[in-house]
Structure 1
Amino acid sequence: MQQVLKRLRLRSEEISAAARAVNALVEQLQRALQASEFCGASVLRSGSYYERVKISAPNEFDVMFKMELPRIQLEEYSDSGAFYYVKFKRNPKGNPLSKFVEDEVLSASGVLAKFRKIIKDEIEKIKKIVMQRKVPGSPAVTLVIKEPKEISVDIILALESRSSWPPKTLEGLPVGEWLGRKVRTKLRQQPFYLVPKHAKERQSFQEETWRLSFSHIEKDILNNHGNSKSCCETDGEKCCRKDCLKLMKYLLEQLKKKFEKREELSKFCSYHVKTAFLHLCVKYPRDSFWKPEDLHRCFDDCVGFFLDRLKEEELKHFFIPEVNLFSPEYINKRSKTFLEKQIEEERNNGFPIFSEF
């Protein structure tokens, strides 16, 4: 496992080159947004690179442009827990997003279309950057930097709300025994975000909904992950939590690569791995469980826990427990059974896939 982790470690010169290219792009987009309806937008970096669990190469970045909203009212969509209509309690003329309000609802599709157009117009001025085709239901505008190396950057607009988190998050974020009840209270005092992600409605999408996002909280947790406050700090004891997460992400990544021509694994993503991992950290909160010398056993526990989630067809959203990420409405049983079989085969044979590709 240590040899695999060495291969996955990012090289500092690659990180520096990628970060320079992404930062230059983000600065240019921010200048363009300042001259638009999104003039109040500021940058919120999230995703695996900023959580320091990126593997293989610094070739994928997630960047949020956040806009703080005045007083808003959320109306839950179809008892979903995760998707909401956004309404303004007041609609002052000074609100730059007021032009996107239709029948009192802030139009997610209208906001996203305008946001996408501004970015498209701006990157047409830049050589060696292309925009990917829009993915139905996705909140991201995906740009690909072609040189010096190909880097994919997901740009997402997020609405920031500083009001109380929605009621269905009340039992979520179960980190009290792991990080401490005070830490949980402090995390819940942070703002939450809404991204223009459309809820699935049979074979189509409800295009006016916004989805809750807690990626900033996930980043905080992963960067301050110890039961003791000094875990993995310069002078503190080390743990293997992040190494386990990297190996789990790599396992799924390799399986998706191996079976890329089959559709069974298309719905699975690193967010499923991360969510299961966070639940396992809650189950085993003590740093003593995650000693670096116990990496093999800890990784096997991660694999076993993920297999259990697949078998039981239940993976609770870490912040919204009513949402089951492995429910049939999101992923069919055939796909879950297929992934379960492939992981078990790898586990029984010492993970030969780690040496492939």
Structure 2
Amino acid sequence: MASSIELDRFYNEEVEFPPWLLASHIDTAEREVRTLLAGMRSIQRENIDPSIQYDIVRTGSSYEGLKVKGEMELDFMIVLFHSEFKFIPMTSDYSGYLKIKAEQQQPQFQFHAAKRWGSSSPSHSFEYDFTNNGYLIPSQIYQWFQSLADRAVNENRSKFVKKFVGNFPARTLILNISPGVEICVDLVPAICIGRDLFVVAKPLKTSSDPYLWRLSFSVFERNILRQLPNSCHLKALKILKYLREHDTRLEETSQFASGICSYHLKTASLHLLAQRPDTPEGLHERLHQLMDFLLDGMQRRELNHFFMGNPSSLARDVQVPSSITHRERRLNLFGGEFVNESTLSQARERLVRIKRSLPAVIQQHYDAGANSCNIF
């Protein structure tokens, strides 16, 4: 059984991404993204294209205090608006997804452009290019964003930009900042629908509805987790996240690595934090509590979204709208529309083995890390 002292050593030596290096990478990436967005703004079609907000919204593990050693990835939401249209959230039949109505604030004449991106039609407007039946189309927004980003990269060459790849719904900027060191920056088009509440152009794979935008609670999650620096709760989550992300080094076909995502771990951790906010347990106890919570949820095939239908004190502290926390229907992240039952079962079996043999698993990661070439 791995003690809290042994786990703390493992965390410090193998899990934690060096803070000084993380800060340096973040500074480089943010500078490059701002340059890219300035280039995109300079080639936009006036009055037709959505406008790009100057402030980028920082999300993901690097800003939540959850970054672990491994590939360097950053996530930014790029917020869009239009001076002539209000973007109004509308309910949908799918939990966690909304439609966005584009309502013109004042009647305007038809704007014209010589050439639409990817089209030779001579006449365009915001409504013509980006909406249908008054609803904002996420796929159209993404295609426009992708095209505009490609042009801006080609016209504003940077010594760090290696390539720009499309990975719907994000546009991933690959920065090569030194030999063998890459930063992957995901840029996701987003619409702000309330204080710290956004929808992003991420489709629901089980629906053919082309107007669905996914709710994003990234800012709320970041604000909760940033209140827990160096806590056993945060360390336990990062250790389990590291074990999942690197499990294919130990078991090539691990469903714990491929079938379960870091968002599942984070959601479970938030539920556990809400249940046990002030308990004095050490790192060993916290890690095993987190694994037990996940194993129980996998067994029952139930992991409810932390905010939707859950009026917890943590949600109130970061001011999640009551329309979200008091909704009748909750969203089960272990439901069949998100995780295949067989995949979930195999992931659970693997996590059971990790928990039972944790000291041996940790030693295997030490050995694997020593045998791999890395910059740490």
Structure 1 position 255, deviation (Å): 2.2
Question: 2:76 is matched by which residue type in structure 1?
Answer: V
Partner of 1:285 in structure 2? 277
1:216 corresponds to 2:216: no
- Tell me, yes or no, if structure 1 residue 15 matches structure 2 residue 22: yes
Q: How far is the alpha carbon of 1:304 from its aligned partner? A: 0.5
The reply to whether residue 347 of structure 1 matches residue 355 of structure 2 is yes
8 A Cα contact 1:120 1:131, kept in partner: no
The 2-side partners of 1:200 and 1:50 are apart by 28
CA distance in 2, matches of 1:46, 1:324: 23
Residues 344/264 of structure 1: CA separation in 2 closer, same or farther (3 Å cut): closer
Distance 2:345 2:22 in 1: 37
Asked whether the equivalents of residues 53 and 246 of structure 1 are also in contact (C-alpha less than 8 Å), the reply is: yes
Cα distance change, pair 258–38 in 1 and its aligned pair in 2 (3 A): farther
Alignment partner of 1:88 is 2:102: yes
Determine whether 1:272 maps to 2:264: yes
Q: CA deviation at 1:323?
A: 1.1
- CA shift, 1:257, in A, is 4.6
- The alignment's C-alpha RMSD in Å is 2.6
* Residue of 204, 208, 215 corresponding to 1:199: 204
Match of 2:169 among 139, 146, 149: 139
How far, CA to CA, are the matches of 1:290 and 1:158 in structure 2?
Answer: 39
Deviation at 1:285, TM superposition (A): 2.0
How far apart in 1 are the matches of 2:343 and 2:18? 35
TM-score, normalization by structure 2: 0.75
CA distance in 2, matches of 1:245, 1:81: 26
- Over 3 Å counting, the alpha-carbon distance change for 1:268 and 1:350 in structure 2 is closer
- Which structure is larger by alpha-carbon Rg, 1 or 2? 2
**CA displacement 1:164-207 (0-9 Å, x = unmatched):** xxxxxxxxxxxxxxxxxxxxxxxxxx3410100111136xx544
- In 1, the alpha carbon distance for the partners of 2:211 and 2:144 equals 14
Does the residue aligned with 2:358 lie in a helix, a strand or coil? coil
The residue correspondences of 1:132-281 to structure 2 (distance < 5 A) are 133-135=165-167, 138-148=168-178, 149-162=181-194, 190-201=195-206, 206-225=209-228, 239-261=231-253, 265-281=257-273
Cα distance change of structure 1 residues 127 and 296 upon mapping to structure 2, 3 Å threshold: same
- Could you tell me how far apart the structure 1 residues matched to 2:171 and 2:338 are? 22
125-134 or 60-69, which moves further after superposition? 125-134
TM-score (norm. length: structure 1) = 0.79
Q: Distance in 2 between matches of 1:97 and 1:208?
A: 16
Deviation readout 1:42-101 (Å, 9 max, x if unpaired)? 311111101111111571111111235664333333x21112221123354499954412
Alpha carbons 2:72, 2:182 under 8 Å: kept: yes
Q: Is the 8 A contact 2:40 2:148 kept in 1?
A: yes
| Deviation digits for residues 258-298 of structure 1 (CA, Å, limit 9, x no counterpart) | 44556674342111100010011111122xx145xx11011
Unaligned runs of 5+ in 2: 1-6, 112-124, 310-329, 369-376
SS in 2 for 1:353: helix
1:310 maps onto 2:310 in alignment: no
Q: Is the 8 A contact 1:141 1:156 kept in 2?
A: yes
Cα–Cα, structure 1 residues 305 and 262, in superposed 2: closer, same or farther, change >3 Å? Answer: closer
Task: Flag the 1:133–1:31 CA change in 2: closer, same or farther, 3 A.
Answer: closer
Q: Which deviates more from structure 2 when the two are superposed, residues 152-161 or residues 119-128?
A: 119-128
Single out whichever of 211-220 and 39-48 deviates more from structure 2. 39-48
Aligned residues: 310
Question: Please, which moves more after superposition, 141-150 or 332-341?
Answer: 141-150
Q: What letter is aligned with 2:336?
A: P
Shift of residue 313, structure 1, vs aligned partner:
0.5
Q: Which runs of 5+ in 1 are unaligned?
A: 163-189, 226-231, 233-237
Secondary structure of the corresponding residue to residue 56 of structure 2 = strand
Give the one of 4, 9, 25 matched to 2:10: 4
**Offset of residue 310 of structure 1:** 0.7
